[in-house]
A and B are shown apart, each in its own frame.
Chain A
Amino acid sequence: MRDMPELPVDDPAIRLAGLSKRFATGGTLALAEVSLEVRSGEIFGIVGRSGAGKSTLVRTVNLLERPDAGAVTVLGQDLLGLDAAALRKARRGIGMVFQHFNLHHRRTVAENIAFPLEVAGMPHAERAARVAELLPLVGLEAKRDAYPAQLSGGQKQRVGIARALASRPRILLCDEATSALDPETTAEILALIRDLRDRLQLTVLLITHEMAVVKSICDRVAVMEAGRVIEQGPVLEVFTRPRQPTTRRFVAEVIGHGVPSETLARLPAPRPGEARRLVQVLFLGPHSTRAVISEASRDFGIDLDIAAGRIDSIAGEPFGVMALAAYGPAEALEAAFAWMRGLGLVIEEIAA
């Protein structure tokens, strides 16, 4: 075993500054002055629709894609200034995991995992020892001599992860690492990535088009659209206070603004002289949802009807999301919402 890696001091672990990239073929502006910092030890997510430039962005981190302009600094090293040999060496310190696994079909699990070590010129015996350490890390001891064709998608990705970690990188890039997997296997692989981050003090930059992935393991997230980062911040903050329409749409995928139209149709109409407002309320942190609702109806003389609701968690923080139908004098409703906002709840109108 090697000595313990020194504590992460190069912070941020990844600094991308003013990256631009236009592809000659097609002329797409894939990156437009993107700046991003990934802190040491965090799991940073990038979400965006297909074609937003996510892959292009992570591929600049190990210079698989060279930006036209900007700077790429990884662990304090300016990659664009390196010659070919130095770049190859730097790349060994950056693990990468792919959507389609990209395993060698004619190499066994053990041989696939050993590949980066072979490339780095490690002697055979040392390679074998390192592979023997890595197999249990990803739970594949029993499959060491299997070929990729004999593995499930989840097992293939475990091989991909073990291979990415073989050279003891401090950075792990994941480009849609779970997009080819079913939900259960996705959860397993994500848990594995988080566990490895904790154990090996990795910094993870992860691309996905699924907000559920961001919700379950990311610490911070950036939203990309048309080659730009349009919003970024801690996951909880972006999820609960999305500023951009695109971000809202993404967040809606997991938080669920939707209330079934049948439910809405069945809500009673307001009595004469009363107003009815439909809102979505996000409860964060310590508030007990029930207490807030009963207090609001008591103190403001309004009726609050829960049309839909559930409790969930983001980045380990519990939150509740609820669709409320509120009945009462218009001013009273307004005052009640203002009071709830004052408690830190996020309230949004639902179009009926």
Chain B
Amino acid sequence: MSWLTPMMQDLLIEALGQTLVMVGVSTVLAIAFGLPLALLLHVTGPNGLTPRPWLNRPLGLVVNAARSTPFIILMVAIVPFTRLVAGTSIGTGAAIVPLALAATAFLARLFENALREVDPGVVEAALAMGASRGQIVWKVLVPEALPGLVAAVTVALVSLVGFSAMAGAIGGGGLGDLGIRFGYQRFMPEVMASVVLILILLVQGLQSIGDWLVRRLSHR
């Protein structure tokens, strides 16, 4: 990146750090909330361990609503909530709130799909062996679905890199924000090119690591 001034280089590194924090923290939060949500959706679903249509349908609706709202709108729509949680509505910390929320809904659905791929025969065998529901969730469903769950996290990480660039629009910082402010508004094409290059490398890296992990975990 020697075509950039030292000051621009520092800004770029700082922005990369902010992007990584936004993506990393919101992914961790999305896993923490998304997995239980997905398990609840799966277990209470029509073919689940304990079908509960009165719980499953509303839950599915909420998740779908969050999923189908364009991120930029979701971000603006939940500003009051963001202010409540983060104490402010601008900055990297504030950007994490809508990012985590969108990623939770997104991951919940992807996780649910991964859980659905688990062979129902294995679940049935576990029931026949006297396993409790908790044991079936933690000793059968989650371990058997693990490669799918990891693949889902990879997809979410890649999408979050894109969303986090958008979050820059509310002063969230990060690479997207830098690209807009310097590359576009101040017309510094070398900054824009650098931002795009780093984003591409980041996404490629995440995807490769994810794919490698899935292969290692599969045993198929």
Contact = CB atoms under 8 A, between A and B. Distances in A.
Given A88-B131, A119-B130, A147-B219, A64 B124 contact: yes
Interface stretch (A99-107, A204-212, A245-253, A342-350): A99-107
Interface string A58-73: 0000101000000000
B87 to A, nearest CB: 43
Contact of A105 (B127, B135, B220): B220
Given A98-B121, A104-B140, A104-B144, A119 B129 contact: yes
A309 interface: no
B219 A119 contact: no
Contact of A149 (B119, B140, B146, B220): B220
A92 interface: yes
Contacts of A102: 119, 121-122, 124-125
B129 A116 contact: yes
Interface in B105-128: 119, 121-122, 124-128
Nearest to B140: A104
Interface in B32-51: none
Contacts of B127: 64, 91
B143 interface: yes
A173 B121 CA distance: 15
A98 B125 contact: yes
Q: Which of A87, A101, A106, A107 has the most chain B CB atoms inside 10 A of its CB?
A: A106
A104 B128 contact: no
A167 B125 CA distance: 14
A92 B128 CA distance: 8
A96 interface: yes
Contact of A91 (B130, B135, B144, B218): B130
Interface string B133-164: 00100011001101100000000000000000
A151 to B, nearest CB: 12
A115 B139 contact: yes
Secondary structure of the B side of the interface?
Answer: helix
Nearest to A167: B129
A94 interface: yes
Nearest to B146: A106
Interface in A86-145: 87-92, 94, 96, 98, 100-107, 115-116, 118-120
A312 to B, nearest CB: 35
B132 A103 contact: no
Interface residues of A, number: 30
Nearest to A62: B128
A89 B219 contact: no
Contacts of A90: 130
Interface in A149-165: 149, 163
Contacts of A101: 121
A107 B132 CA distance: 19
A91 B129 contact: yes
A106 B143 contact: yes
B74 interface: no
Given A98-B121, A115-B126, A149-B220, A104 B131 contact: no
Q: Which of A88, A100, A102, A147 has the most chain B CB atoms inside 10 A of its CB?
A: A102
Q: Which of A107, A163, A167 has the most chain B CB atoms inside 10 A of its CB?
A: A107
Interface residues of B, number: 23
B97 to A, nearest CB: 35
Interface string A294-311: 000000000000000000
Contacts of A115: 126, 129, 139
A94 B130 CA distance: 9
A149 B128 CA distance: 23
Nearest to A117: B129
Contacts of B144: 104-106
B8 interface: no
Contact of A106 (B125, B128, B132, B217): B217
Contacts of A94: 128
Contact of B128 (A64, A89, A100, A107): A64
A6 B132 CA distance: 28
Contact of B131 (A62, A103, A105, A119): A119
Contacts of A116: 129-130
B129 A92 contact: yes
Contact of A92 (B122, B130, B135): B130
A88 B132 contact: yes
A173 B129 CA distance: 12
Interface of B: 119, 121-122, 124-132, 135, 139-140, 143-144, 146-147, 217-220
In the A-B complex, the 10 residue pairs with the smallest Cβ-Cβ separation, listed nearest first, are A102-B121, A91-B130, A102-B125, A88-B130, A116-B129, A92-B130, A147-B219, A96-B128, A119-B131, A102-B122
6 contacts: A64-B127, A96-B125, A102-B122, A103-B122, A120-B130, A173-B128
Given A91-B128, A106-B218, A167-B130, 16 more contacts: A88-B132, A89-B130, A90-B130, A92-B130, A102-B119, A102-B125, A104-B122, A105-B144, A105-B218, A106-B144, A106-B147, A106-B217, A115-B129, A116-B130, A118-B139, A163-B129
